[in-house]
Amino acid sequence: MTGDEPSWGAGRRLVVLDTETTGLNARLGDRVIEIGGIEMVNRRLTGSQFHRYVNPQRAIEEGALRVHGITDEFLADKPLFAGVADELLEYVRDAELVIHNAGFDVEFLNEELNRLGRGRITDYVAGVHDTLAQAREIHPGKKNSLDALCERYQVDNRQRTLHGALLDATLLAEVYLAMTRGQESLAIDIEESGVQGRARRTRIAGPALVVLAATEEELAAHAAVLEDIDRETRGGCLWRVAPHAGSDRSAGLY
């Protein structure tokens, strides 16, 4: 997370963002080819979306093509990143970005903006929240891909036969709401109770503790059992040599 930590989106404007690219390495010249964003305010989808395809001016790697299915031919007549940069920056301005594996998308956007002399994406937004890092904290040792999280939180992703920036942002928005619902409920409960920064104590009424003392017959039977054990172990019965042996307290401890 960069910037101020969000209170799980409460009272804030979020933009759930995703990109598709020509390959995996922004520093070696791979470029952004698709950007998708979904707006949420106060944890509610507003219906506002941002979606643009971008001509990367370079060929798409075969491995990337298998992931998203976007071809060089399809992008040939699309605008360059310079042609959509202003729209993108205006859309995300002052929002908190929610991104799955944020380091990947942020690096690509930073490289694109740097080519235009426009700084970094974090210069324009209130912060960046990485849902992959969050999922790994909540579900350590488990798969935390977007598909895995959709299955875990029962988000319907059957239409995701290929990756797509707008589709993935839409799915991630649902996953994010499901993944943070418990924390948000807790924050609301604390706020409504008027308690800030501390938990409330609740006294739970219950029946009085009833203590039943052993009868003389039960104590005699217990002593006889200890005697038998002591005889069989040739004086090795720990219950008889322990402090207060034979008392109610020692019977409970040993």
106 neighbors 128 (Cβ within 8 angstroms): yes
What pLDDT, on a 0 to 100 scale, did the predictor assign at position 204?
42
What pLDDT, on a 0 to 100 scale, did the predictor assign at position 25?
96
How many CB atoms are closer than 10 A to CB 99?
24
Q: Model confidence over 194-245: pLDDT tens digits?
A: 444 443 444 444 455 555 677 887 787 877 777 777 777 666 666 565 544 4
Whether 163 is a known active-site residue: answer yes
- Helix, strand and coil content of the chain, in percent to the nearest 5, comes to 45, 15, 40
Using the predicted structure, report yes or no on whether residue 188 has a pLDDT greater than 50.
no
What pLDDT, on a 0 to 100 scale, did the predictor assign at position 183?
54
Kindly report the average pLDDT of the chain as a whole number: 83
Angstrom distance (rounded) from CA 103 to CA 100 = 9
Task: Dig out the tokens for 48 from the structure.
Answer: 């506002």
Which member of 68, 139, 163, 222 is catalytic? Answer: 163
113 neighbors 121 (Cβ within 8 angstroms): yes
Global pTM reads 0.69
Using the predicted structure, report yes or no on whether residue 251 has a pLDDT greater than 60.
no
Residues in the chain: 254
Q: Mind listing the domains of the chain with CATH numbers? A: 2-193 (3.30.420.10), 216-249 (no CATH)
Tell me which of 225 and 182 has the higher pLDDT.
225
